[in-house]
Amino acid sequence: MSLETLAALVVFAFVTSVTPGPNNFMLLASGVNFGFRRTIPHMTGIFVGFVALLLAVGMGLGAVLLAYPALETALKLAGGAYLLYLAWKIASSRSLGKGGQAGARPLTLLEAAAFQWVNPKAWVMAVSAMALYTDAERPLFSVVVVAAVFGLTNYPSVSIWTGFGQALRGFLSEPRRLKAFNIAMGALLVATLPLMIAV
């Protein structure tokens, strides 16, 4: 992989990881409601799940998805349903994670990792990255390089959104502001659904 291609891959990985989307809206809300430290498993789950998805797509799973449109439709339906569930949980949250709301907790590492596999945006990012930046002459090496670059840029990118949420905790400690924020985050998450379904 040439230095120019590698530089383009780094930019692609950073831009697709840091721009608004379901993962980043959920991290912003989690940073507000639970703080940075308690959101680390959620961030780690995104990292682990997406890197695993990239490797699987690079090893041929993406071709299977493209060959069977029914699988793609099922993926979109499952991802959409789970996204609506997560949006409801965020919109109905009324606590800053201090024990004031029974059962309130951030996503676990496994939940966040699993979401990557039903997130159509993650699939589009993975398929696009592998199509654009892998080398047919050195397929295994280039798949690992793409996954490594995404891994190195993804974690810092998602940390920014959690950090924004942490920074807003003081301002949103007033219950009416927190309620409005969580409803807005839930609505923004739902607003990503048509874009996810359309891809």
For 119-168, how does the pLDDT look when each residue is reduced to its tens digit (9 = 90+)? Answer: 877 888 888 888 888 887 887 888 999 999 999 998 899 999 999 999 98
Average of pLDDT values for 4-25? Answer: 88
Average of pLDDT values for 11-23? Answer: 88
The 10 Å CB-count burial string (b at 16+, else e) for 5-36 is eeeebeebbbebbbeebbbbbbbbbbbbbbbb
**pLDDT band for position 113 (cuts 50, 70, 90):** very high
Tell me the two tokens of residue 102: 């029974």
**64 vs 48: which has the higher pLDDT:** 48
Amino acid 195: pLDDT: 64
Reduce the DSSP state of residue 41 to 3 states and report it. helix
Lowest-pLDDT range of 11-15, 44-48, 93-97, 195-199: 195-199
**pLDDT band for position 62 (cuts 50, 70, 90):** low
Amino acid 198: pLDDT: 61
Average of pLDDT values for 47-69? Answer: 85
